Amino acid sequence: MINHVLFDLDGTLVDTAVDLANALNVVRQHKGLEVLPLDVIKPTVSLGGNAMINLAFGLKEYDEGFEEIRDAFLRHYSENIAIHSRLFDGMETVLNHIEDKNIPWGIVTNKSKWLTNPFWSPSLNLINEPNASYPATPLNTENLILRRYIMLVSY
């Protein structure tokens, strides 16, 4: 019997690869570098921004210039977040099935909360943040409701 289901946000539940790749490539272009193809960037999306920066610039978190690149990347991503991001095909069906079975579910992400907030927007028809004072309402086809929000910080 399944007691709980947890999904990774980027690359598992929601396809955010295009938005993240676009942000990364804008920074590469500003640095005079060529655009990386989406298929090169996509495998690092669920590993987080630091892994993407390492791929695109060969920089590790404590390298000189890393913070400047990360800040530019995050700034561009936050200004253009969730433009192309959508649930992966079939995920709405999976979530409906989980809800029908009354199985608690949530999202585990290494993305900072300030970058997940746009996914709570009803205008995106992706995910709405439940009111913390009340239990989350059942999932419906227009708005996906998180039962729990779990934030894990990767190091």
> In whole angstroms, how far apart are CA 50 and each of 3, 14, 117, 121, 148?
32, 19, 20, 26, 26
- Of 10, 19, 63, 100, the active-site residue reads 10
Other CB atoms within 10 Å distance of the CB of residue 92: 14
Mark whether 8 is an active-site residue.
yes
- Of 8, 39, 89, 100, the active-site residue reads 8
Mark whether 100 is an active-site residue.
no
Which residue type, as a one-letter code, is found at position 66?
F
- Catalytic residues, by residue number, are 8, 10
